[in-house]
Amino acid sequence: MRVRTLGEFKVNAIGLGCMNLSHAYGTPPDEKTAETLLLTAFDSGVNLFDTAALYGFGANETLVGRVLKPHRKDIVLTSKCGMQGVNGVRVIDGRAATIKQTCEDALRRLQTDVIDLYYLHRLDKNVPIEDSVGALADLVREGKIRNIGLSEMSAATLRRACAVHPIAAMQTEYSLWTRNAEIAVLAACRELGVAFVAFSPVGRGFLAGGISSMAALAHLAEKDIRRGMPRFYPEYFEQNLAFLTAFQDLANSWGYAPASLALAWLLHQSEHIIPIPGTTRISHLLENLTAADRVLSKIDLAQMDAVVRAHPIAGARYNDATQREIDTEN
């Protein structure tokens, strides 16, 4: 796999987002299935694993920590603070004391002495970014974290954060069907030497063809977070199926699995982009990893962009309430 820079580390070009092993997309897999997937990822060359206090309200950090503890020295372990479960409710809290306590809890759950990259998961709009990053800088000085990251924040906030302490990574959704990062923050990361970690790089499963019909949409689990995302509302989803069909036809004509082609597109956008697709299936994991070996020409990339232009994506990526919580350009 190609190697890319993430803070002080060199990581393989495709990491693993661990969220859906515990959180967000309906009923998570059983513990044995999740363990097998994590170990298969490691054995297949993945050395970047991404979790957060929010995922399963601590359960995902516990899972990742237990399973990967024997391989700790061989992986780059990342987690997030600033958004977690409190008494069963998701809470955004960027206060210094909360960040430091969340880190202590994460270290215990992850069964490690230091977290390689620790993100501020969301901007707490009641707390200056300088204060939140200042707390993270204290954790660096105390040896509890090695690098600081931000998640779902704007170029302007990134610049303010960098004035307090070097920022190693910005994590934001980015894919063929979610390209708001191209407004400003992607270029700001390149300018400032900040890695761009792309979550949901296959469009929350859409680009992989996992939900390819109105019938499949109707069968999403009741607690699947996609039910609350406008692009998956029936009135928009039906329009988006035209894009999916055109994209799948292109992938099939080139002999690529659609998910692999979507990830290859991301890797070709810039050397500072590191996608972290998540999955609960080993077959999908191995399919995703083939993207690191795909070579796309400028003509290929232009054809892919033409598909997007011909079939504009309908619907916002978040509903209004969630959109108000994030700081990204829109």
Task: Tell me the chain's radius of gyration from C-alpha atoms.
Answer: 19
Residue 83 has phi, psi (to 5 degrees) of -150, 115
Q: Strands 89-92, 115-120: parallel, antiparallel or unpaired by DSSP?
A: unpaired
Residue 271 has phi, psi (to 5 degrees) of -70, -15
SS3 call for 120: strand
Using alpha carbons, select from 277, 281, 280, 288 the residue that is nearest to residue 16. 277
Contact partners, residue 18, CB within 8 Å, separation at least 6: 38, 49, 50, 51, 55, 60, 63, 64, 278
CB-CB contact of 47 with 36 (8 Å)? no
Helix %, strand %, coil % for the chain, to 5? 50, 15, 35
Assigned token pair, 200:
């949901």
> CATH fold of 3-206+259-295, please?
TIM Barrel (3.20.20)
Active site residue 318: no
- Tens-digit pLDDT string for the chain (330 aa): 589 999 999 999 999 999 999 989 989 999 999 999 999 999 999 999 999 999 999 999 999 999 999 999 999 999 999 999 999 899 999 999 999 999 999 999 999 999 999 999 999 999 999 999 999 999 999 999 999 999 999 999 999 999 999 999 999 999 999 999 999 999 999 999 999 999 999 999 999 998 999 999 999 999 999 999 999 999 999 999 999 999 999 999 999 999 999 999 999 999 999 999 999 999 999 999 999 999 999 999 999 999 999 999 999 999 999 999 999 998
Which residue is catalytic, options 55, 118, 174, 256?
Answer: 55
Assigned token pair, 17:
């987002």
Query: Within 13 Å of residue 223, how many CA atoms lie on the same side as its CB?
Result: 8
Assigned token pair, 316:
């916002």
Question: What stretch of H or E contains 55?
Answer: none
